Amino acid sequence: MTKAKMFIDYDGTLIDSIFPFCATYNELYTDRPNFAPADPDAVTTWNAKEQIPLCKDINELFSHPLFFEFARPMDEWTIPVLEELSKTYELIICTIGVPKNISRKAKHIAKWFPMIKESILMMQSDCKMDKRIVRMRSDTFNERSNVFIDDVASNLQSSDADIKICFGKKYAWNSDWNGYRAKTWKDVGNLFL
């Protein structure tokens, strides 16, 4: 029997992208006039504009090497749960980014998530968050259900996955999600292990 597939988003799901985003901004902009440190706990919008007013292009931060130096797994359960899930699911990262971000993401994935053997790295188009081009549903009725875990409601809504899980805390970009939620990777483990 083939394994069911579990498609997993990277930013905000596998890694806490808010902390490295703010930390990168703080490192790069600290000497600029009118600088105020970005506070990860005060981020309310997907692009954190309220915290990074001096930055004109958010991709500068998401693609900077510092971002990936600061980036770590989402929580203490991420790695152990993924290792267990890899025994029963085919784990596939499905993420969107610009070319520099995607190339650095691929290296970061190899370093931190060796149990995930496959990745779908999509190029961003006008910041459109949409993963509908990836076929996520199971092939036949008898197969186990395929799962998609993401922190962005629009990605989940446009997906054809059999089971969709919104990951993490409620933010503006996922507050309208009415389906299943998992706040931590421990929650994911409780659902699927």
Residue ranges per domain, the chain? 4-16+73-192, 18-70
Q: Nearest to residue 115, comparing CAs of 192, 190, 8?
A: 8
- Residue 144 pLDDT: 75
Give dist(CA 142, CA 139) in Å, integer. Answer: 9
Bridge partner residues of 96 (DSSP)? 122
Question: What's the pLDDT at 142?
Answer: 54
Please report the pLDDT score of residue 71 as a whole number.
97
Stated pTM of the model: 0.92
pLDDT at 156: 94
pLDDT, residue 126, reads 59
40 φ, ψ to 5°? -55, -30
Q: Average pLDDT of each block of 10 consecutive residues along the chain (193 residues)?
A: 90 96 97 96 89 93 96 97 97 92 94 96 69 80 82 93 95 92 98 94
Q: CB neighbours (10 Å) of residue 177?
A: 20
For 134, what's the count of Cα atoms within 13 Å in the CB-facing half-sphere?
Answer: 29
Measured in residues, the chain has a length of 193
> Cα separation of 61 and 113, whole Å?
22
The span from the first CA to the last CA of the chain, in angstroms, equals 18
The amino acid at 57: D
User: Is the distance from CB of 91 to CB of 115 less than 8 angstroms?
Assistant: yes
Pick the CATH number of 4-16+73-192 from 1.10.10.10, 3.40.50.300, 3.40.50.1000, 3.90.850.10: 3.40.50.1000
Give the model's pLDDT for residue 128. Answer: 59
